[in-house]
């Protein structure tokens, strides 16, 4: 795949033509403080891609100048990501920490040139002296120190004679510069911290602006490509190299737009919070936008490369639709993977007029995919179909099996429903059907018209598998934090059934499960005895559908071009009762259309829901619990098997309303109710789960967290306000999630002032 020419490649070509460099050298310089994400993939593709296209090379450099947050685990994850995407760095992995001795020598050189000085103002004074965008700054009195004094102080700083923050080394540039970054920027700060590579050898660490340009120079980098937020730092980059007279080849910095994707968070700090607070199962959780997560989900390197290629390289920040990423993986897998059958929610069908058994020829690929391959599908009188592919009282536009409407079993015969067998409570237990012997796929002479073909598996040979249905991690387009997490981002189905060849012949590790989407054999948890499949992506963009569902309902689709969608019959219109409920839920009770849809279409759920709302009128919170937690339980159990009642759910929600427990603890209580059927208030009391709102109790915990993290406190006070969430998170964690988050927020704010 050849990239179309972007502004970076234009610059590189001009430089080559002008003979500015013999060889193009780029670098990918991550800070090893988290797992790389899809944004890093963009940077990898740009840096390694340009080096490859112009026959140069690209270095992988760990920018490890912050001793407190870095870890070799992250180094490994970064190496994995680059290799998985198909790139190879030049020589060994580089580390900024390997250049600490050179950086130190250059610093002494700047001092000797009168271009750097040790400043002893406090952090606060430094900030104050810096001035504002409209007012120039003032230079510190310490700037007048002699070269000898500066050299002596720097050496003693390095040797650990001073405390953190007591002195810093600054460049002497211009306290009146319009670019505030140029007002005597910091070059070194004191940090008495153990570094994961250099140990305790150094008590000073270079700042990004000082370390980065010299590292680029030392490696012979020609084009130092970074994201737009470093635009103002470019002046320092140039100042350091030019002041030191470093040439041949002299690197230059260029900036491109950082990748942002909707429904996704990309900051490593927020991703770390998801991991540390247990909102996901680790950095490689298939819902994470990390390379490790996408990889475990089943994304291919090709799909990520194709995505990076499609979004291009621009100079203006913009937001990319996550649907585009999903499109890329669908597009890649469409021509690659076999189509097989999986039934997620099995309903038994007995074909009473079928005797014996046979093996049916079934191609793995549809006609429009130029690949060969087929398997033998065992067929006999007992099979399973998808529960919702049968409807006793079908709404208009239902194209699958009904008591009156036959349906085709994919690759097999047409069947007609003869009888519906139910249990005492009216749940459908089994369908008795007949098949039409002359309707076999490929040689159908029956003349029977059907409107769709559905998937099925033979009962005797089907294998039970676990299917993990992943969806977007956030339900909000521009997520801020954990409050925007999608509660339905993971559904686990323990007893799905697949055709036997998937396990025994293993035609691939990625499959299309007909009508469900693309799936991947989980690379960690899958075994032949207990197979696990991850949903990579659905067959089409279901999010658009979900949003529109509210207005699509009740109208059958007309457009001939959407025939395929009709056959799949996925958007079943609602019947009148369901529609009335739906309208009430959205209009009167103000539920969102997704939750309304779930409740309205399910008789059991909606009556459970309404019973709970009758006791405690908090329709929204109750709806969320019923549509998610209760619905999950009702998938596996019948209503009279549930140990908890609508009244108890109402009581649980009342405890949230009254701020006795947090939402998070409510989930924990619910799990207990599922097991024991105990009243929520009893559970809360017995397990000591009452929310802690008393500042007198919370404050010492905050003090403790601050005492354990002095560096972060200092960073926060130095202006890194992003650390606020870190403190709140730590306090919540220390209380096992019991502290009242609002109160913790207020108290942490007070404390940090």
Per CB under 6 A, residues contacting ligand ATP are 29-31, 39-40, 42-43, 226-227, 258-259, 266-268
**Rounded alpha-carbon distances, angstroms, from residue 178 to 125, 130, 174:** 20, 11, 9
- Supply the minimum distance, in Å, between the C-beta of residue 29 and Mg ion: 9
**Which 29-58 positions form the footprint of Mg ion (CB under 5 A)?**
31
Considering beta carbons, is residue 130 or 197 the nearer one to ligand ATP? 197
Considering beta carbons, is residue 36 or 479 the nearer one to Mg ion? 36
Helix or strand holding residue 485 (H, E): none
What is the rounded CA–CA span in Å between residue 732 and residue 734?
Answer: 5
Interacting partner of 531 out of ligand ATP, Mg ion, none (Cβ under 5 to 8 A depending on kind) = none
**Rounded alpha-carbon distances, angstroms, from residue 352 to 261, 391, 420, 556:** 53, 20, 13, 33
Considering beta carbons, is residue 42 or 170 the nearer one to ligand ATP? 42
Q: How many residues bind Mg ion (CB under 5 A)?
A: 1
**Rounded alpha-carbon distances, angstroms, from residue 211 to 95, 119, 218, 221, 594:** 11, 19, 10, 14, 50
Handedness of CA 161, 167, 171, 173 (dihedral sign): negative
Listed in sequence order, the DSSP H helices in 113-228 are 123-129, 147-159, 208-218
Considering beta carbons, is residue 45 or 342 the nearer one to ligand ATP? 45
Q: Is 610 a catalytic residue?
A: no
Interacting partner of 276 out of ligand ATP, Mg ion, none (Cβ under 5 to 8 A depending on kind) = none
Q: Is 545 a catalytic residue?
A: no
Other C-beta atoms within 10 Å of 562: how many?
10
| Position of minimal CB gap to Mg ion | 31
Is the Cβ–Cβ distance between 263 and 322 less than 8 Å? Answer: yes
Asked if 68 touches Mg ion (CB under 5 A), the answer is no
**Which 13-32 positions form the footprint of Mg ion (CB under 5 A)?**
31
What is the rounded CA–CA span in Å between residue 137 and residue 120?
Answer: 16
What is the rounded CA–CA span in Å between residue 109 and residue 115?
Answer: 9
Catalytic residue, chosen from 3, 9, 13, 31, is 31
What is the rounded CA–CA span in Å between residue 439 and residue 359?
Answer: 15
Interacting partner of 185 out of Mg ion, ligand ATP, none (Cβ under 5 to 8 A depending on kind) = none
Burial of 657 (0-12, 13-18, 19+ CB in 10 A): exposed
- Supply the minimum distance, in Å, between the C-beta of residue 31 and ligand ATP: 4
Other C-beta atoms within 10 Å of 335: how many?
11
Interacting partner of 120 out of ligand ATP, Mg ion, none (Cβ under 5 to 8 A depending on kind) = none
- Supply the minimum distance, in Å, between the C-beta of residue 80 and ligand ATP: 15
Considering beta carbons, is residue 93 or 420 the nearer one to ligand ATP? 93
Interacting partner of 43 out of ligand ATP, Mg ion, none (Cβ under 5 to 8 A depending on kind) = ligand ATP
- Supply the minimum distance, in Å, between the C-beta of residue 31 and Mg ion: 4
Is the Cβ–Cβ distance between 339 and 368 less than 8 Å? Answer: no
Catalytic residue, chosen from 268, 295, 535, 581, is 268
Interacting partner of 94 out of Mg ion, ligand ATP, none (Cβ under 5 to 8 A depending on kind) = none
Considering beta carbons, is residue 33 or 461 the nearer one to ligand ATP? 33
Is the Cβ–Cβ distance between 252 and 217 less than 8 Å? Answer: no
What share of residues in the chain are helix, strand, coil (percent, to 5)? 45, 20, 40
Considering beta carbons, is residue 554 or 718 the nearer one to ligand ATP? 718
What is the rounded CA–CA span in Å between residue 65 and residue 447?
Answer: 75
Site string for Mg ion, 710-739 (x = CB under 5 A): ------------------------------
Give the dihedral of Cα atoms 37, 39, 42, 46; nearest 10 deg: -110
DSSP letters spanning 398-458: --SB-SS--EEETTS-EEEEEEEEE-TT--EEEEEEEE-GGG-TTS--S----S-EE-EEE
Considering beta carbons, is residue 227 or 434 the nearer one to ligand ATP? 227
Site string for Mg ion, 227-266 (x = CB under 5 A): ----------------------------------------
- Supply the minimum distance, in Å, between the C-beta of residue 629 and ligand ATP: 33
Interacting partner of 266 out of Mg ion, ligand ATP, none (Cβ under 5 to 8 A depending on kind) = ligand ATP
- Supply the minimum distance, in Å, between the C-beta of residue 225 and ligand ATP: 7
Interacting partner of 297 out of Mg ion, ligand ATP, none (Cβ under 5 to 8 A depending on kind) = none
- The alpha carbons of the chain give a radius of gyration, in whole angstroms, of 31
- Supply the minimum distance, in Å, between the C-beta of residue 46 and ligand ATP: 8
Distance of alpha carbon 671 from its chain centroid, rounded?
A: 25
What's the maximum distance between 2 C-alpha atoms anywhere in the chain? 102
- Supply the minimum distance, in Å, between the C-beta of residue 264 and ligand ATP: 10
What is the rounded CA–CA span in Å between residue 101 and residue 121?
Answer: 26
Catalytic residue, chosen from 250, 258, 463, 717, is 258
What is the rounded CA–CA span in Å between residue 197 and residue 195?
Answer: 5
What is the rounded CA–CA span in Å between residue 732 and residue 134?
Answer: 41
Considering beta carbons, is residue 39 or 346 the nearer one to ligand ATP? 39
Q: Angle 38-53/301-311 helices, nearest 10 degrees?
A: 80
Interacting partner of 226 out of Mg ion, ligand ATP, none (Cβ under 5 to 8 A depending on kind) = ligand ATP
Is the Cβ–Cβ distance between 620 and 585 less than 8 Å? Answer: no
Considering beta carbons, is residue 237 or 354 the nearer one to Mg ion? 237
- Supply the minimum distance, in Å, between the C-beta of residue 508 and ligand ATP: 32
- Supply the minimum distance, in Å, between the C-beta of residue 92 and Mg ion: 22
Coil, strand or helix at 741:
helix
Q: Which residue has the tokens 């690209």?
A: 58
- Supply the minimum distance, in Å, between the C-beta of residue 690 and Mg ion: 40
Angle at 666 between CA 268 and CA 495, to 5 degrees: 80
- Supply the minimum distance, in Å, between the C-beta of residue 308 and ligand ATP: 10
What are the structure tokens assigned to 347, written together? Answer: 């309903």
Considering beta carbons, is residue 33 or 624 the nearer one to Mg ion? 33
Interacting partner of 258 out of ligand ATP, Mg ion, none (Cβ under 5 to 8 A depending on kind) = ligand ATP
What is the rounded CA–CA span in Å between residue 715 and residue 710?
Answer: 9
Considering beta carbons, is residue 37 or 440 the nearer one to Mg ion? 37
Interacting partner of 158 out of ligand ATP, Mg ion, none (Cβ under 5 to 8 A depending on kind) = none
- Supply the minimum distance, in Å, between the C-beta of residue 187 and ligand ATP: 19
**Rounded alpha-carbon distances, angstroms, from residue 112 to 142, 427, 465, 606, 718:** 16, 87, 70, 79, 29
Interacting partner of 737 out of ligand ATP, Mg ion, none (Cβ under 5 to 8 A depending on kind) = none
What is the rounded CA–CA span in Å between residue 473 and residue 479?
Answer: 10
Q: How far apart are the first and last CA of the chain?
A: 54
Considering beta carbons, is residue 170 or 268 the nearer one to ligand ATP? 268
Q: Is the peptide bond before 607 cis (omega within 30 degrees of 0)?
A: no
Q: Is 268 a catalytic residue?
A: yes
Interacting partner of 680 out of Mg ion, ligand ATP, none (Cβ under 5 to 8 A depending on kind) = none
What are the structure tokens assigned to 83, written together? Answer: 């290799």
Q: Which residues here bind Mg ion, judged by CB under 5 A?
A: 31
Enzyme catalytic residues: 31, 258, 268
């Amino acid at each position: 795949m050849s990239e179309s020419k972007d502004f970076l490649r234009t610059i590189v070509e001009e430089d080559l033509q002008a003979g500015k460099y013999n060889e193009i050298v780029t670098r990918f310089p991550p800070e090893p403080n988290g797992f790389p994400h899809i944004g890093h993939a963009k940077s990898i593709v740009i840096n390694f891609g340009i080096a490859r296209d112009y026959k140069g090379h690209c270095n992988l450099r760990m920018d490890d100048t912050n001793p407190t947050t870095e870890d070799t685990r992250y180094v490994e994850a970064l190496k994995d990501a680059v290799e998985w995407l198909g790139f190879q760095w030049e020589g060994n992995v580089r580390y900024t920490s390997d250049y600490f001795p050179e950086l130190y020598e250059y610093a002494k050189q700047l001092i000797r040139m009168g271009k750097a000085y040790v400043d002893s103002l406090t952090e606060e004074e430094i900030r104050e002296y810096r001035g504002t965008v409209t007012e120039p700054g003032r230079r510190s009195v310490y700037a007048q120190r002699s070269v000898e004094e500066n050299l002596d102080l720097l050496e003693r700083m390095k040797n650990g004679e001073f405390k953190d923050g007591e002195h810093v080394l600054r460049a002497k540039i211009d306290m009146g510069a319009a670019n505030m970054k140029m007002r005597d920027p910091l070059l070194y700060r004191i940090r008495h911290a153990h570094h994961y590579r250099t140990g305790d050898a150094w008590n000073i660490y270079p700042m990004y602006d000082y370390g980065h340009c010299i590292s680029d120079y030392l490696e012979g980098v020609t084009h130092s490509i970074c994201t737009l937020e470093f635009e103002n730092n470019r002046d320092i980059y140039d100042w350091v190299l030019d002041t030191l007279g470093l040439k041949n080849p002299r690197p230059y910095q260029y900036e491109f737009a950082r990748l942002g994707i909707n429904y996704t968070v990309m900051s490593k700090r927020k991703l770390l919070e998801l991991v540390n607070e247990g909102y996901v199962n680790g950095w490689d959780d298939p819902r994470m936008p990390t390379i490790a997560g996408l990889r475990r989900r089943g994304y291919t390197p090709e799909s990520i490369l194709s995505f990076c290629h499609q979004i291009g390289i621009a100079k203006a920040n913009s937001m990319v639709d996550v649907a585009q990423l999903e499109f890329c993986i669908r597009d890649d897998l469409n021509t690659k993977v076999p189509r097989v059958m999986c039934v997620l929610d099995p309903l038994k069908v007995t074909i009473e007029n079928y005797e014996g058994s046979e093996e049916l020829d079934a191609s793995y690929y549809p006609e429009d995919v130029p690949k060969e391959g087929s398997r033998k599908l065992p067929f006999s009188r007992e099979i399973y179909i998808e529960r919702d592919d049968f409807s006793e009282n079908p709404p208009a536009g239902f194209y699958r099996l009904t008591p009156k409407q036959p349906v085709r079993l994919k690759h097999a015969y047409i069947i007609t429903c003869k009888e519906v067998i139910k249990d005492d409570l009216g749940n459908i237990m089994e369908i008795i059907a007949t098949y039409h012997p002359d309707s076999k796929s490929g040689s159908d002479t029956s003349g029977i018209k059907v409107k769709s073909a559905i998937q099925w598996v033979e009962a005797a040979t089907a294998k039970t598998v676990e299917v993990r249905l992943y969806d977007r991690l956030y339900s909000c387009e521009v997520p801020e934090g954990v409050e925007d997490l999608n509660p339905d981002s993971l559904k686990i189905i323990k007893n799905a059934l697949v055709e036997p060849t998937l396990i025994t012949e293993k035609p691939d590790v990625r499959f299309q499960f007909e009508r469900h989407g693309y799936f991947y054999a989980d690379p960690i948890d899958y075994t032949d005895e207990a197979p696990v499949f991850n949903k990579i992506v659905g067959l089409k963009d279901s999010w658009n559908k979900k949003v529109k569902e509210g207005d699509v309902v009740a109208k059958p689709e007309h457009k001939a071009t959407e025939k395929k969608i009709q056959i799949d019959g996925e958007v079943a219109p609602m019947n009148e009762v369901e529609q009335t409920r739906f309208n009430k839920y959205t209009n009167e009770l103000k539920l969102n259309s997704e939750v309304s849809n779930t409740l309205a279409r399910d008789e059991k759920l909606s009556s459970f829901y309404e019973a709970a709302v009758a006791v405690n009128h908090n329709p929204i919170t109750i709806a969320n619990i019923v549509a998610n937690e209760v619905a999950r339980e009702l998938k596996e159990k019948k209503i009279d098997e549930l140990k908890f009642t609508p009244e108890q759910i109402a009581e649980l929600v009342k405890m949230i309303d009254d701020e006795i427990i947090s939402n998070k603890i409510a989930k924990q209580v619910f799990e207990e109710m599922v097991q024991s059927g105990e009243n929520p208030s009893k559970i809360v009391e017995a397990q000591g789960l009452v929310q802690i709102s008393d500042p007198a109790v919370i404050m010492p915990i905050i003090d403790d967290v601050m005492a354990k993290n002095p560096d972060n406190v200092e960073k926060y006070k130095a202006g890194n306000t992003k650390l606020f969430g870190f403190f709140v998170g730590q306090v919540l964690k220390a209380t096992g999630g019991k502290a009242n988050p609002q109160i913790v927020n207020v108290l942490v704010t007070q404390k940090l002032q």
